[in-house]
Chains A and B, each alone.
Chain A
């Protein structure tokens, strides 16, 4: 298991993000807490509109945090922070976006797109910038001579590589990958996933991987949090989450994953989540650690049931 010990690289505590003014307030993220350890791939899964992208954007300070805090290596990076820290964070945390067709400046050459972030750092000479750009491009499997070309000359997979090179050039420690492979074809997706894994091995990168594709997440993530309407409903190690999901929403989501196996797929039992099965009128649901490293959102009464399921599961698995 990657990234087990030490203090977390990123801590998110009770994060709230609210959009809209007085009349139309929407809580996109509602009291979310988690840690990301150095070197791991932490996944956030959920449907569209569940707030998973907002978490990523709040961490890189694109959207303001309403309450709660984000800590990077123990330092608070949400809200008002000194300029020097801001500069440091911009370099340390980078983002990769979903759609390589719309996230790249059409009118700039690849060389500029990749090196743009470096212009903000004092003391990087043009030669140094050039060297770093070429290095980043080579690292993602593109050729140095591509610096003089425009984005439209590239295919979707290559453009996503440009997006990755743009993040790498800043030498980040944490990369927030927001649906990095959702817009790509199957065969290209495999190339990009391989690249992300290889970079993680070589550079010791930490990823926050945001996606709705649970089969990709099963492959790439060490831990996964399942998000539903702005709150986390469950968080666990990938294997444990897939083998022993507790929250009914997690079960529904996992049951719906399409599998490329006709026999399995045609016998599949679909589980539909109905939020009304929880009775939260008297007891509010709490974020509980039900077994080490396995969190679930539940009220006191449900907890006993979940604990029972965990015990049975562990007994079967011989833990």
Chain B
């Protein structure tokens, strides 16, 4: 993939004020997103993955503020946008988002067709019958049967999977360059999930979108992602191509995540479980945030925060284990066994 960076996040610090205490939700996140790629951000709940994506479209909650860093899009720093009106040019039109729960992200009082037409009018400048026709085309595009009849129906007449299709249609109708999908299939059944992922992949090709997926489901990641960023305690601990992260993971947290998945053939044996709980983000974190839960942590892990070490030009991880001076550490046996050959 050629390195045509469409969106660049540099050293982003995002904090929340909570009853006089400060929560460090993002601690110096740096990430380049390339045009046309499909990036997945994985992490547990509370790791900051949703906060990161909301910051990209200026939807951080009122008590949150960006304490440092920048988000460069088209040569402009989005962090400097203060007014809501400044954001209107970006949000939706350039960067659109598909939310997790299709039950709550549609307006129950407006017909589905009208909701898509609204996006068409706002972002494509079409009027009247033209806008409706375009909206109908989008409805067809996302694979809704009998689009003419469905166009005049309300969200409650749609099933969960169909509603998510409508939400995707609205997002695409904005003609964005970047589409952020925040847990797009978590609220759906497995069979529907697979269909929605297929639809998102097709839409990405057709409209030449750059897609960012936020998810905690590694199966979804394996399905859709070109590149994977693993997030832990407000920081990206490992970034690499999908194959690199799955078959040759380097960060102990990534190891633990992959090893804790039940795999066929493991029946009855103990799963690898990460001891302890994620760190308290109200406190300053010294060293590697994962160190207290890592049985193989080095002394330096508790003292100094590791920098990114490059494994390959596309693959880097924030762990002292990759330092040439570090002792050799092996990933847990279960992922070595099932992981494919390193690339």
15 CB contacts below 8 A, A to B, read: A47-B191, A47-B192, A155-B277, A156-B45, A157-B277, A190-B273, A193-B262, A194-B270, A197-B270, A215-B263, A218-B267, A258-B193, A260-B222, A261-B222, A268-B194
A264 to B263, CA, bound (A): 13
Q: Would B267 and A186 count as touching, CB distance under 8 A?
A: no
Chain B interface (Cβ within 8 Å of chain A)?
44-45, 160, 189-195, 198, 216-223, 225, 242-243, 246-247, 256-258, 260-264, 266-268, 270-274, 277, 338, 340
> Which residues does chain A contribute within 8 Å of B222, judged by CB atoms?
258-262, 264-266
A189 contacts chain B at the CB level, 8 A cutoff: yes
> Which residues does chain A contribute within 8 Å of B242, judged by CB atoms?
262
Closest residue to A218 on the B side, CB-wise?
A: B264
Contact residue among B198, B220, B260, B274 (Cβ-Cβ distance under 8 Å from A270): B198
A200 to B242, CA, bound (A): 37
Q: Would B261 and A215 count as touching, CB distance under 8 A?
A: yes
Given A190-B273, A190-B274, A262-B242; 13 other pairs, CB 8 A cutoff: A48-B189, A187-B274, A190-B261, A191-B274, A197-B270, A218-B264, A219-B266, A238-B267, A257-B190, A258-B218, A258-B222, A263-B243, A270-B195
Within 8 A of B (CB), among A148-169: 155-158
Q: Would A219 and B218 count as touching, CB distance under 8 A?
A: no
Most buried by B among A158, A212, A262, A273: A262
Q: Would A187 and B256 count as touching, CB distance under 8 A?
A: yes
Closest residue to A254 on the B side, CB-wise?
A: B190
A218 to B263, CA, bound (A): 8
> Which residues does chain B contribute within 8 Å of A270, judged by CB atoms?
194-195, 198
Closest residue to B262 on the A side, CB-wise?
A: A219
B207 CB, nearest partner CB in chain A, Å: 20
> Which residues does chain A contribute within 8 Å of B260, judged by CB atoms?
186-187, 189-190
Q: What 5 A-B pairs are tightest by C-beta distance, nearest first? A: A258-B219, A219-B262, A190-B260, A260-B218, A265-B222
A34 contacts chain B at the CB level, 8 A cutoff: no
A212 to B186, CA, bound (A): 12
A275 to B266, CA, bound (A): 33
Chain A window 126-167, contacts with chain B (Cβ cutoff 8 Å), 1 for yes, 0 for no: 000000000000000000000000000001111000000000
Most buried by A among B45, B190, B218: B190
A101 CB, nearest partner CB in chain B, Å: 11
A189 to B198, CA, bound (A): 27
> Which residues does chain B contribute within 8 Å of A219, judged by CB atoms?
262-263, 266-267, 271
Q: Would B220 and A190 count as touching, CB distance under 8 A?
A: no
B104 CB, nearest partner CB in chain A, Å: 16
A7 CB, nearest partner CB in chain B, Å: 24
Closest residue to B335 on the A side, CB-wise?
A: A260
> Which residues does chain B contribute within 8 Å of A216, judged by CB atoms?
262
Closest residue to B258 on the A side, CB-wise?
A: A260
A35 CB, nearest partner CB in chain B, Å: 21
A242 contacts chain B at the CB level, 8 A cutoff: yes
A272 contacts chain B at the CB level, 8 A cutoff: yes
Contact residue among B217, B247, B256, B271 (Cβ-Cβ distance under 8 Å from A258): B217
Known: A185-B216, A193-B262. A262 touches B190 (CB 8 A): no
Known: A187-B44, A252-B191. A257 touches B219 (CB 8 A): yes
Known: A215-B262, A262-B242. A256 touches B193 (CB 8 A): yes
A94 CB, nearest partner CB in chain B, Å: 23
A194 CB, nearest partner CB in chain B, Å: 5
Closest residue to B264 on the A side, CB-wise?
A: A218
Most buried by A among B191, B216, B268: B191
Q: Would A185 and B195 count as touching, CB distance under 8 A?
A: no
Chain A window 211-226, contacts with chain B (Cβ cutoff 8 Å), 1 for yes, 0 for no: 0111110111000000
A253 contacts chain B at the CB level, 8 A cutoff: yes
> Which residues does chain A contribute within 8 Å of B256, judged by CB atoms?
187
> Which residues does chain B contribute within 8 Å of A253, judged by CB atoms?
190-191
